[in-house]
Amino acid sequence: MTLLEAAAALRRREVSSAELTAAALHRIERLNPSTNAMQTVMAEAARERAKLADEELARGEGRGPLHGIPIAVKDLFYTKGVRTTGGSKLFESHVPDHDATVVEWLRGGGAVLVGKTGMHELAYGITSSNPHFGAVRNPWDRDRIPGGSSGGSGAAVAAGMVAMAMGSDTGGSIRVPAAYCGVVGLKPTYGRVSRYGAMPLAFSLDHMGPLTRSVRDAGAVLNVIGGYDPRDETSSRRAAENYVPDLAPSLRGVRIGLPENFYFERLDPDVDAAVRAAFHSAEARGAEIVPLPVPEIAAINTVARLILMAEASALHERHLEQRDLFGADVLALLDQGRLLPATDYINAQRLRRGMQREFARLWKRVDCLFTPTTPITAPRIGETAATICGLDEDVRLATTRLVRAINALGLPAVSIPCGADRRGLPVGLQIVGPPFAEALILRVAQALVPAEVPVPRL
Amino acid sequence: MTLLEAAAALRRREVSSAELTAAALHRIERLNPSTNAMQTVMAEAARERAKLADEELARGEGRGPLHGIPIAVKDLFYTKGVRTTGGSKLFESHVPDHDATVVEWLRGGGAVLVGKTGMHELAYGITSSNPHFGAVRNPWDRDRIPGGSSGGSGAAVAAGMVAMAMGSDTGGSIRVPAAYCGVVGLKPTYGRVSRYGAMPLAFSLDHMGPLTRSVRDAGAVLNVIGGYDPRDETSSRRAAENYVPDLAPSLRGVRIGLPENFYFERLDPDVDAAVRAAFHSAEARGAEIVPLPVPEIAAINTVARLILMAEASALHERHLEQRDLFGADVLALLDQGRLLPATDYINAQRLRRGMQREFARLWKRVDCLFTPTTPITAPRIGETAATICGLDEDVRLATTRLVRAINALGLPAVSIPCGADRRGLPVGLQIVGPPFAEALILRVAQALVPAEVPVPRL
């Protein structure tokens, strides 16, 4: 069941929050040993909260579509009284004394938090093969990564443990696991969703957003978690513009950009075919496809990577003497980031502003862009190189090369399931829009996504 | 004559813009050889513009208080068709094809631009002893520096060449020459005055503002140059809040902070006495003096200096191979800035945001702060150390230690003449206020400044 289906069933009294929660906990119990999607299960607290939700619903005190629905959040969102590790040994025993804004608002909307999802160490990577808490495994093939860094959230939603799990995205960390796990992942516009109480990785690139099984669900969650928050100094006043669902199946009048450069180079042929089919599908629903060149994405990726490395190292510098508390990949990245000169960082931020201005001109010609989310489908755990079109490419670079630039640009983007490869592994379609155009990209996504998103046999 | 006195005389037809302009050019001709305040004199263009202004005034087409008044701008403001060097050999022959916003708006207000003032090379220093274009000399004692980097603007106003000259202030570069030359210097709130077309030094610290002979003049100029400018991405929407003059001589109800720490340590005794007298004077006019500790200014100075060095080096990095085009002091600073790690810069910006929040709390207790502008009066040209209270201190560090933090905080501050030392050299009083409180600090300044600001005998 999707979140909104569950909400409808609750409203019709066909099911209770207690039952939904028990089912979620049961599924976690059954599937967590093989997927490791949940880092912490909050069974008792969830049951209590579900009971309260049922009482409120019985009294007619509805709090909206999330009321009584079991959800999970990535283990970097502060949860009052519940351990929040950020996937790191550094915070192994860290128990926050307050909730992140997103958690507070989700709870305010009546959601039942059943657990914290596993993640890449410090959110600094895309495999979610965590050296401290174990690798998260892809429900479609447990020898494969779920993507990351919000791998646990992707796996939990794909495995049907919860209908929604919150993730964070600094260089693709919501969209990549959405693509590799075959679910919907929304990275909202920078400034739309509060980061207060979410462990940061890179101040100017971090975004928070939901992973769900339907596009409508992503919109419903955005309505709850979006909004201005004075506790987050990057929160935008425009964050208060709610996502207003307009899910007409027709795409008449929508101009969809088909990038002529970068995005369709070096793709797995199955990914290429699946994404091209999405263009046809959009055209059949009345959209206009506009082939056009996009600004230099490779350069934006370089700038985004430099900014990420410098900001992440600035943040964790003070912990770097405790070298044995880090995994090898994260430690190497943090060490490298310390060698970057301030002048490069400042010039990268300047270039980034220029690229944002350049990209802004694109939206005069099209309403959104379609691209593949990743050039490949989920690699095997431990695999460091992927062979694409006969050439080897570092798995981390390949996985992030189509998503990373969007973080530097701060644009909203959603990854939706878009067919499967020859092995049956999910392919992701990325839809990118102008700032604060979540309503538009979700409308387009909804028109394209199949009525039933395929689920892995578990 | 002050700017507003000249404006009144023009309105009464006691004098023409042509006469004012001729007088300014005559005074420049007489005094520039000994002060080197003007880098470029625009005699012909000024005479033409003055003629036009007289015609407009005769037709009753008044453009406001600046109409027909001779002014100058620091040689880092772009002037269409007129060389703009930034005090650097790099831009020795640079002739911009457009005006800076500030120049455009001043011209729009009818001001007659008579010249471009000399400055410290690239605005990166406080002596204005320019290795390429010669040292600017202090009209009060031509063996002494006028301060910098807007030294030519301070000297030109003090020498009576013009009633107003625009400066820029990245670490004190308006307030220091105002103090050393005995004039008024206003650094407005960050975001209030457009920087478009002004050669930058450090993106997050640069401010533009006027040097004048009266406080009222500074207010009149702010009314013309303040305002939102979409061409400057740091321009604030609040920039449109005009300075509304409220120059009642009474200070009843105004709470003036007397810093208990930092600002009155290691001062020349004459500076100390002059500034303390200003508190008595304010109290006599009804102000309440509130002794209080201020947040750690030394730490903010360190942060501001690191940010300045990194941003300046990032900006000029591409020119650094042409080593013989730089003076020794600027080259050394630019080289040093390249060695700063990105992590230090990022952490400095983070600390800065924390300090801004901490400082914001101060404004609940007081309306403004009084401090000395500089701990000493103008040093001799070539002097590298100043002896203060028996201890030697680097002239550059001493000169900037009471002003630099205010750039990192982005607060408005004005330096006004406040007596003289035993040699007759001017002392400056710095008045600092909360963001966008220019009206308040100018009101307080106006109540304190003597009716006649002393002028050097020339």
For tokens 């979409």, name the residue: B230
Q: How far is CA A69 from CA A29, B141, B424, in A?
A: 18, 79, 78
Paired tokens of A352:
């980034």
pLDDT at B249: 77
C-beta separation of A175 from A184 below 8 A: no
Rg of the Cα atoms in chain A: 20
pLDDT tens-place string over residues A320-368: 999 999 999 999 999 999 999 999 999 999 999 999 999 999 999 999 9
Q: Residue B379 is which amino acid?
A: P
State yes or no: pLDDT of B402 exceeds 90. yes
Class of residue A281 by CB neighbours under 10 A (exposed 0-12, middle 13-18, buried 19+): middle
pLDDT at A454: 79
How big is the CA angle at A102 (ends A408 and A169), to the nearest 5 degrees?
A: 25
B149 carries an active-site annotation: yes
Q: Which of A224-228, A407-411, B239-243 has the lowest mean pLDDT?
A: B239-243
State yes or no: pLDDT of B246 exceeds 70. no
pLDDT band per the 50, 70, 90 thresholds, residue A458: confident
B339 and A341 within 8 Å at the Cβ level: the answer is yes
pLDDT tens-place string over residues B371-398: 999 999 999 999 999 999 999 999 999 9
Q: Which of B203, B346, B347, B353 to mutate to test the interface with A (most CBs of A within 10 A)?
A: B346
B313 and A344 within 8 Å at the Cβ level: the answer is no
pLDDT band per the 50, 70, 90 thresholds, residue B450: confident
State yes or no: pLDDT of A377 exceeds 90. yes
A342 and B345 within 8 Å at the Cβ level: the answer is yes
pLDDT tens-place string over residues A104-159: 999 999 999 999 999 999 999 999 999 999 999 999 999 999 999 999 999 999 99
pLDDT at B319: 96
**Residues sharing a CB contact under 8 Å with residue A388, sequence separation 6 or more, in sequence order:** A266, A267, A268, A375, A376, A398
> Using beta carbons and an 8 Å cutoff, which residues of A are at the interface with B?
203, 233, 310-311, 313-314, 317, 337-347, 350, 353
Q: How far is CA B445 from CA B187, B218, B369, B373, B438, in A?
A: 13, 11, 11, 13, 10
Q: Which of A307, A316, A346, A357 to mutate to test the interface with B (most CBs of B within 10 A)?
A: A346
For tokens 């066909």, name the residue: A14
Whether a cis peptide bond, with omega within 30° of 0, leads into B149 is yes
Three-class SS of chain B: CCHHHHHHHHHCCCCCHHHHHHHHHHHHHHHHHHHCCEEEECHHHHHHHHHHHHHHHHCCCCCCCCCCCEEEEECCECECCECCCCCCHHHCCCCCCCCCHHHHHHHHCCCEEEEEECCCHHHCCCCCEECCCEECCECCECCECCCCCCHHHHHHHHCCCCCEEEEEECCCCCHHHHHHHCCEEEECCCCCECCCCECCCCCCCCEEEEEECCHHHHHHHHHHHECCCCCCCCCCHHHHCCCCCCCCCCCCCCEEEEECCCCCCCCCHHHHHHHHHHHHHHHHCCCEEEEECCCCHHHHHHHHHHHHHHHHHHHHHHHCCCHHHCCHHHHHHHHHHCCCEHHHHHHHHHHHHHHHHHHHHHCCCCCEEEEECCCCCCCECCCCEEEECCEEEEHHHHHHCCCHHHHHHCCCEEEEEEEECCCCCEEEEEEECCCCCHHHHHHHHHHHCCCCCCCCCC
Phi, psi dihedral angles at A138 (to 5 degrees): -75, 125
For B353, the closest of A233, A311, A343 (CB atoms) is: A233
Closest of A216, A142, A230, A210 to residue A180, by C-alpha:
A142
Least Cα separation, residue B202 to chain A (angstroms): 10
Question: Is A246 or A381 the better-scoring residue by pLDDT?
Answer: A381
For B341, the closest of A203, A233, A340 (CB atoms) is: A340
User: Across chain B, what does the average pLDDT equal?
Assistant: 96
The catalytic residue positions of A are: 74, 149, 173
Chain centroid to CA A281: 24
- How much of chain A exceeds pLDDT 90, in percent? 95
For tokens 């044995």, name the residue: A324
C-beta separation of B446 from B215 below 8 A: yes
pLDDT at A244: 62
Q: Residue A334 is which amino acid?
A: L
Helices B17-35 & B151-158 angle (0-180, nearest 10): 120
For A340, the closest of B337, B342, B347 (CB atoms) is: B342
- pTM for the structure as a whole: 0.93
- Cα–Cα distance between A379 and A377 in angstroms, integer? 6
pLDDT at A451: 66
Helices A215-225 & A438-448 angle (0-180, nearest 10): 160
- CA-based nearest residue in chain A for residue B312: A343
Least Cα separation, residue B203 to chain A (angstroms): 10
pLDDT at B457: 87
- Cα–Cα distance between A165 and A151 in angstroms, integer? 10
Dihedral, CA of residue B207, residue B212, residue B215 and residue B219, to nearest 10: -50
Dihedral, CA of residue A33, residue A34, residue A38 and residue A43, to nearest 10: -40
pLDDT at B85: 98
- CA-based nearest residue in chain B for residue A338: B343
Domains of chain B, by residue range, sit at 3-235
C-beta separation of B419 from B456 below 8 A: no
Rg of the Cα atoms in chain B: 20
SS3 A258: strand
Paired tokens of B107:
């011209």
Instruction: Indicate the helix (H) or strand (E) that contains A255.
Output: strand A255-259
pLDDT at A313: 98
**Residues sharing a CB contact under 8 Å with residue B398, sequence separation 6 or more, in sequence order:** B374, B375, B376, B386, B388
Give contacts of A337 with chain B, Cβ < 8 Å.
342-343
Least Cα separation, residue A328 to chain B (angstroms): 20
**Residues sharing a CB contact under 8 Å with residue A235, sequence separation 6 or more, in sequence order:** A191, A194, A196, A228, A229
C-beta separation of B103 from B77 below 8 A: yes
C-beta separation of B124 from B86 below 8 A: no
SS3 A39: strand
Give contacts of B341 with chain A, Cβ < 8 Å.
338-342
- Cα–Cα distance between B118 and B40 in angstroms, integer? 8
Beta sheet of B368-372, edge-to-edge order = B38-41, B112-117, B70-74, B164-169, B207-212, B184-187, B413-420, B426-432, B368-372, B255-259, B288-292
Give the count of beta carbons closer than 10 Å to the beta carbon of residue A57.
19
Helices B215-225 & B101-108 angle (0-180, nearest 10): 110
Q: Which of A175-189, B94-108, B243-257 has the lowest mean pLDDT?
A: B243-257
For B346, the closest of A233, A310, A350 (CB atoms) is: A310
Q: How far is CA B206 from CA B45, B201, B450, in A?
A: 29, 7, 30
pLDDT at B453: 74
Size of interface A-B (CB pairs under 8 A): 61
Give the count of beta carbons closer than 10 Å to the beta carbon of residue A113.
22
State yes or no: pLDDT of B242 exceeds 90. no
Closest of B225, B76, B259, B239 to residue B150, by C-alpha:
B76
Paired tokens of A272:
């290429």
B343 and A233 within 8 Å at the Cβ level: the answer is no
pLDDT at A449: 84
B350 and A233 within 8 Å at the Cβ level: the answer is no
pLDDT tens-place string over residues B342-372: 999 999 999 999 999 999 999 999 999 999 9
pLDDT tens-place string over residues A172-200: 999 999 999 999 999 999 999 999 999 99
pLDDT at B437: 95
Q: Is the domain B3-235 a CATH 3.90.1300.10 member?
A: yes
Closest of B146, B118, B154, B28 to residue B458, by C-alpha:
B28
Phi, psi dihedral angles at A137 (to 5 degrees): -115, 145
pLDDT tens-place string over residues B117-171: 999 999 999 999 999 999 999 999 999 999 999 999 999 999 999 999 999 999 9
Dihedral, CA of residue A10, residue A12, residue A15 and residue A16, to nearest 10: 50
A343 and B317 within 8 Å at the Cβ level: the answer is yes
Paired tokens of B251:
């200070």
pLDDT tens-place string over residues A267-303: 999 999 999 999 999 999 999 999 999 999 999 999 9
For tokens 């982005």, name the residue: B410
For A342, the closest of B203, B344, B350 (CB atoms) is: B344
- Cα–Cα distance between B149 and B312 in angstroms, integer? 14
Least Cα separation, residue A334 to chain B (angstroms): 11
pLDDT at B173: 98
Least Cα separation, residue B320 to chain A (angstroms): 13
State yes or no: pLDDT of A243 exceeds 70. no
Chain centroid to CA A51: 29
Q: DSSP character for A373? A: S
C-beta separation of A38 from A132 below 8 A: no
B342 and A233 within 8 Å at the Cβ level: the answer is no
Phi, psi dihedral angles at A189 (to 5 degrees): -55, 145
B364 carries an active-site annotation: no
Give contacts of B338 with chain A, Cβ < 8 Å.
341, 343
pLDDT tens-place string over residues A414-446: 999 999 999 999 999 999 999 999 999 999 999
Give contacts of A311 with chain B, Cβ < 8 Å.
346
For tokens 């003096």, name the residue: B289
- Cα–Cα distance between B51 and B57 in angstroms, integer? 10
Mean pLDDT, residues A380-390: 95
For B340, the closest of A203, A339, A342 (CB atoms) is: A342
> Of B17, B128, B129, B173, which residue is the catalytic one?
B173
Least Cα separation, residue B317 to chain A (angstroms): 8
